[in-house]
Amino acid sequence: MLMGDPSSESSLEVLLGSSQVAARVRELGDEISRDYHGRTPHLVGILKGAWVFMADLVRNLVIEVTVDFLGIQSYGAGTTSSGEVKITKDLDVSIAGRDVLIVEDIIDTGRTYQYLQGVLSAHKPKSLKLVTLLDKSSHRAVPVKADYIGFRIPDVFVVGYGLDYDQKFRRLPDVRYLRGVASVPHPSRPGW
Q: Which residues bind ligand PRP (CB under 6 A)?
A: 46, 48-49, 74, 81, 104-113, 164, 189
63 or 75, CB closer to ligand PRP?
75
Contact residues for 68 (Cβ-Cβ < 8 A; gap 6+): 42, 43, 44, 45, 91, 92, 93, 95
Peptide bond into 48 cis (omega under 30): yes
Q: Is 174 labeled as catalytic in the residue annotation?
A: no
Nearest distance from residue 64's CB to ligand PRP, in Å?
26
Residue 86 forms beta bridges with which residues? 73
Nearest distance from residue 162's CB to ligand PRP, in Å?
8
For 17-64, give the DSSP string.
-HHHHHHHHHHHHHHHHHHTTTS--EEEEEETTTHHHHHHHHTT--S-
Residue nearest to ligand PRP (CB): 49
Nearest distance from residue 106's CB to ligand PRP, in Å?
5
63 or 141, CB closer to ligand PRP?
141
Is residue 152 helix, strand or coil?
strand
Q: Check 105, 108, 135, 164 and give the catalytic one.
A: 108
11 or 112, CB closer to ligand PRP?
112
What are the catalytic residues?
108
